[in-house]
Amino acid sequence: MGNWEAEIIQKIIACDNIIFWHRNNSKSGFRINGFINHYPDFIVYTKSEKIVVIETKGDHLDGSDSEVKLKMGKEWANKAGDKYFYFMVFENKPIEGALSVDEFVKRFTQM
């Protein structure tokens, strides 16, 4: 786990609405199938019985596949049901439809 991912999960586990979290294994864990296989970074289960899938993106990443992954993740969440959520979280500069860290934490704590 990189420093950026560790920073994000620390902010998530500081929230009091979590039952458990899981670091998804790249290339062998949960994946969202599409034009590309997308392996989000974290899966979190909340006290309100919501499953939250999170893809983290540091500002150093070029985001060449981020738009495709974001679209796939949102579509997966829409089809999975009302207890499933997908978020793409950027360090500072999110692409359209993604969130900054502060926006994500604010939204996550309300789930």
Give residue 77's pLDDT: 97
Give residue 74's pLDDT: 96
Q: Which residues contact 82 (CB under 8 A, 6 or more apart)?
A: none
Give residue 60's pLDDT: 65
Region label for 57, one of left (φ > 0), alpha (ψ between -120 and 50) or beta (otherwise): beta
Domains assigned to the chain = 3-109 (3.40.1350.10)
Give residue 3's pLDDT: 82
How would you write the pLDDT of the chain (111 residues) with one tens digit per residue? 778 888 888 998 898 999 999 999 888 899 998 878 899 999 999 999 999 999 998 766 656 788 899 999 999 999 999 999 999 998 877 788 999 888 999 999 988
Give residue 111's pLDDT: 86
pTM score: 0.90
Give residue 63's pLDDT: 66
Residue ranges of alpha helices (H) inside 1-111 are 3-13, 66-80, 101-109
Nearest to 54 by CA among 79, 83, 12, 89: 89
